Amino acid sequence: MSTVEETVAALQAGELVVLPTDTVYGLCAAESEEGARRLAELKGRPAGRPIAILFADVETALVRAPGLERAAHLLPGPFTLVVDGLGVRVPQLPAAAAEVVRAVGCVLATSANRHGGPDPRRLEDVPPEIRAACAAEVDAGELPGIASTVIGLDGPEPRVLREGAVPAAEALARLGSR
């Protein structure tokens, strides 16, 4: 397992890392076109699919995506909110992961599995080829293992784009219950 300092240094050097979230282990990179390309390539993800931006706190996310305000009450939590063309994620991060993300501002993040593969609930569940390609990894033990629920906020009405940790009906009900 890597320290917070080692993980921050790896991200700042443009390396890939594995971080725990509140749902599954994530494959992360510093925000850049190169980072996005490397994440997608290692994951085996089809080209052109957007990658979420993960923030340590709601305030920082709101600066980047002010349109998030109408659903900010859902965060932090197991949601990816698509707003202003961005997939924004503010999970309830384990302490070490929160320190890492806070130190670098934000990271690109996707689940640390091969495209279409099972979501990793333990660091040991991350495929060996992904772990080998990462310069650092933070272990937080076993996680729930169900990916975030993705909600699109760019249209007139919110819509669930992918059901995950929170069932679609509950997610939409939470949006209406400010």
Q: Output the pLDDT for position 23.
A: 97
Name residue 29's amino acid: A
Q: What is the DSSP letter of 109?
A: E
Q: Where are the domains of the chain?
A: 4-176
C-alpha to C-alpha distance for 170 and 1, rounded to whole angstroms: 36
**pLDDT (mean) for 146-171:** 94
> How much is the average pLDDT of 115-136?
97
The span from the CA of 89 to the CA of 120, in Å, is 17
Share of the chain above pLDDT 70, in %: 99
Q: What is the pLDDT of residue 50?
A: 84
Task: With CA atoms as reference, report the closest residue to 136 among 121, 148, 149, 126.
Answer: 126
Q: Is the link from the previous residue into 144 a cis peptide, with omega within 30 of 0?
A: no
pTM of the model: 0.94
DSSP 82: E
The mean pLDDT of 119-126, rounded to a whole number, is: 98
pLDDT at 18 over 70: yes
pLDDT tens digits along 32-62: 999 999 999 999 998 778 899 999 999 999 9
Quick one: CA torsion of 159, 161, 167, 172, rounded to 10 degrees?
-10
CATH architecture of 4-176: Alpha-Beta Complex (3.90)
Q: Label residue 177 by pLDDT band (50, 70, 90).
A: low
- pLDDT mean across residues, the chain: 95
In this predicted model, which residue has the larger pLDDT, 176 or 112? 112
